[in-house]
């Protein structure tokens, strides 16, 4: 089929068919368009060309923007620590392949945008806290607790020594050694604590 006939088949102008050809959406040999192969390419890259009644997430009632629930998105790789957005996108594309149709790509994009908006809402509403902020708070709390224990021996040791009638220096040194031992044990827990982040 020539370009004019192909344009009539799809009810578009010749200029549009020329644009499709420039984009590599048409399969042709010696000026003749392979209709089946070209239709397959158009179906893959151009939204609803060969089946106009089909919308990428539509339900036949014009509801194109309905998002799929997150459990229907398919299994996608999780984020990896210290990975840039570009690296994550490359890894996801490697796992998913770059063979999605335009409709599938739009569906994935819209669902990811919805998840990003949900994440932004949860962050702004206070339901989520940045991991770096949480780590800083936990570190500061642990350091404050450690400092309080280290100062406790010099504050309480003389009082205990006076109650027991012992030398204050000996009591402070003894308490300090036991506090140091306890802090070392707290710094190396026997069981690993598992955190669950939403």
Cβ-based neighbours of 166, under 8 Å, separated by 6 or more: 160
How would residue 196 be classed by pLDDT, with cut points 50, 70 and 90?
low
Q: How far apart are CA 21 and CA 25, in angstroms?
A: 6
Q: How far is CA 27 from CA 9, 14, 36, 44, 126, in A?
A: 15, 16, 9, 13, 53
pLDDT at 102 over 80: no
pLDDT at 74 over 60: no
Across the chain, mean pLDDT equals 76
pTM value surpassing 0.75: no
What is the structure's pLDDT at 152? 92
Q: How far apart are CA 106 and CA 27, in angstroms?
A: 24
Domain residue ranges of the chain, discontinuous segments joined by +: 3-45, 70-124, 131-187
């Amino acid at each position: 089929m020539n370009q004019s006939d192909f344009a009539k088949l799809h009810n578009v102008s010749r200029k549009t068919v020329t644009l499709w050809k420039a984009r590599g959406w048409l399969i042709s040999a010696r000026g003749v368009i392979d209709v089946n192969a070209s239709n397959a390419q158009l179906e893959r890259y151009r939204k609803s060309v060969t089946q106009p009644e089909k919308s990428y997430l539509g339900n036949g009632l014009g509801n194109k923007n309905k998002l799929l629930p997150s459990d229907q998105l398919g299994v996608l790789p999780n984020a990896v620590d210290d990975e840039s957005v570009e690296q994550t996108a490359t890894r996801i594309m490697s796992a998913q392949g770059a063979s999605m149709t335009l409709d599938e790509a739009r569906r994935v994009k819209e669902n990811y945008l919805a998840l990003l908006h949900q994440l932004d809402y949860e962050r702004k509403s206070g339901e989520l806290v940045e991991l770096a902020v949480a780590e800083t708070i936990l570190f500061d709390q642990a350091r404050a607790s450690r400092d309080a224990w280290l100062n406790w021996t010099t504050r309480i040791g003389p009082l205990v020594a006076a109650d027991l009638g012992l030398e204050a220096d000996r009591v402070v040194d003894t308490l300090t050694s036991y506090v140091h031992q306890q802090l070392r044990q707290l710094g190396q827990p026997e069981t690993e604590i598992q955190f669950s982040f939403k």
